[in-house]
Amino acid sequence: MYKFSKKLIYFVGATLFINSTYGQGKAGIDAASSELTTYIDPVANLIMIIGAIVGLVGAVRVYLKWNSGDQDVQKAVMGWVGACIFLVVSGILVKAFFGV
């Protein structure tokens, strides 16, 4: 009996949730898009901060490899520079994609 009532509660809850989402239409989509655009600047700034941290950690890693005489320093430098460029460009593209 307990399993049946638990399933019934989930079914009724899902049905009520679905019915409330159908009724919003254009106003709901407009509200969602305007709320989404408020998150663009913080997300782009977060990407830039992560890029700065990756840049610092990568620079230390390359420096340590270079001083230890490791043979694949060039590969580490290329990976580090590529990651930094990707994070900077992705932060810019997020803003450009959403028109902010």
Q: For residue 92, what are its two tokens?
A: 């810019």
CA distance 98 to 36: 9
Q: Where are the domains of the chain?
A: 1-36, 39-100
Angle at which helix 40-68 crosses helix 73-98, to 10 degrees, equals 170
Burial 48-84 (b: 16+ CB within 10 A, else e): eeebeeebeebeeebeebeeeeeeebeebbeebeeeb
Answer yes or no: pTM beyond 0.75.
Answer: no
pLDDT tens for the chain, 100 residues: list them: 566 677 777 776 667 666 555 556 677 777 777 887 788 888 878 878 888 888 888 889 888 988 988 888 888 889 888 888 887 788 788 778 877 6
Contacts made by residues 30-36, CB under 8 angstroms, sequence distance 24+: 36/98
